[in-house]
Amino acid sequence: MCLAFREQPIFTTKAHVFQIDPNTKKKWIPSSTQAVNVSFYCDSTRNTYRIISVEGSKAVINSTITPNMTFTKTSVKFGQWSDARANTVYGLGFSSEAELTKFVEKFKEVKELTRQVANKTSATSAAITNGTPTHEVNHVINENISTRSCNSPVGSPKTVAINAVNDSLTAERNSPALSTPGLPDQLKYENDRLKIALAQSSANAKKWEIELQTLKNNNARLTTALQESTTNVEEWKRQLALYKEENVRLKKKVLECEKSGGASELLHRQLADLREKVSELERANTGKQEEIARLTKELEEMKATDMQKQDLVDRVKMLERDKEALSKDNLQLKERVETASRSSTQEKDQLIRIQEQIGSKVSELYGLSDKLADMLQH
């Protein structure tokens, strides 16, 4: 019979799924990227219950409930239980305390049903041992269990995901047991999480204080700029009034000049003088510009010359350092030559002495040889 028709969901909720770190046994590792459906499934044929959660095509929880399992509520929104068959500890984080309370109640209810099934199985074994017919015992057990379990399905089964979970169930049943982490570890985890949240809040508060101070500074600058603009507007209005008065005065003067021809000639002469002065100033300005260009060019040439001079000075210093190094090497070589010469002289003298010793020994040998020959002749 297909698993999808045999197992039915009887309770479903949403939670973030975690598993204990297998190395440290203290940290929680997220199994889901977001809150996922966590469901209690009932197998009416085997009278077993499982907690199953699937994210996409991945089974993040596949835990068969046994009578000795215990769900521990470690905080107002977090709980955990140990699954020896899966060789892990599962943790669930809920969005509210009410959701966690509903899950705890359902866990206790299902655990009680599994305990009754285990008791009935033990009673069956005892009845068989006492000689009661097997078919009668099975009939009574099936009637008692079928009336109390799998009678209120909720939601729709996920056939493909559950089949994948069922395929891995056999390997998981043979996994070694894993001890449940103690409450202090969970409290430490919660404390670390709260510390991180507090640090983030402090960082955000500092950032908001900086932004608030920046806004205050910007507001102060804008206020100052607005006041300056207002002052400038008043000044511009005053200058505009003066310009208008000056314009009116100049118009009157032009009219007066037009009426008197002599005055007009005087103004023309003054205008010509002013134009000539402007031309002289322009020529002087041009000459100054050319002078500035020439001086700038000379300055650049002097800078280039200084750079070349500095390069030469650096090279001279380098040559002097090389010369000093060569002088030191030369002195060392001279000392080595003198040492070798003295050693050679001593060796030569020693060889001469050896040669003289050998010559004297040879002369003695010749003398002995002559004596020996005389003695042989006599």
What is the model's pLDDT at position 186? 61
Choice between 158 and 208, residue whose per-residue pLDDT is larger: 208
**Tens of pLDDT along 188-218?**
666 766 777 677 667 777 777 787 888 888 8
What is the model's pLDDT at position 184? 61
Kindly give, in sequence order, each residue whose CB lies less than 8 Å from that of residue 37, ignoring residues fewer than 6 positions away: 12, 13, 14, 53, 54, 155
What is the model's pLDDT at position 18? 95
Least confident stretch, 124-128, 248-252, 279-283: 124-128
What percent of the chain shows pLDDT beyond 70? 76
Task: Quickly state the pLDDT bin for 363 (edges 50, 70, 90).
Answer: confident
- Winning range, highest mean pLDDT, from 126-130, 215-219, 243-247, 355-359: 355-359
What is the model's pLDDT at position 187? 66
Q: What is the pTM for the complete model shown?
A: 0.38
Compute the distance between CA of residue 155 and CA of residue 231 in angstroms, rounded to an integer: 74
Return left, alpha or beta for 136; rule: phi > 0 is left, psi -120 to 50 is alpha, else beta.
Answer: alpha
What is the model's pLDDT at position 162? 42
What is the model's pLDDT at position 169? 43
Task: Quickly state the pLDDT bin for 32 (edges 50, 70, 90).
Answer: very high
Distance of CA 54 to the CA centre of its chain: 31
What is the model's pLDDT at position 183? 53
Query: For residue 6, is pLDDT > 70?
Result: no
Query: For residue 4, is pLDDT > 50?
Result: no
Query: For residue 262, is pLDDT > 70?
Result: no
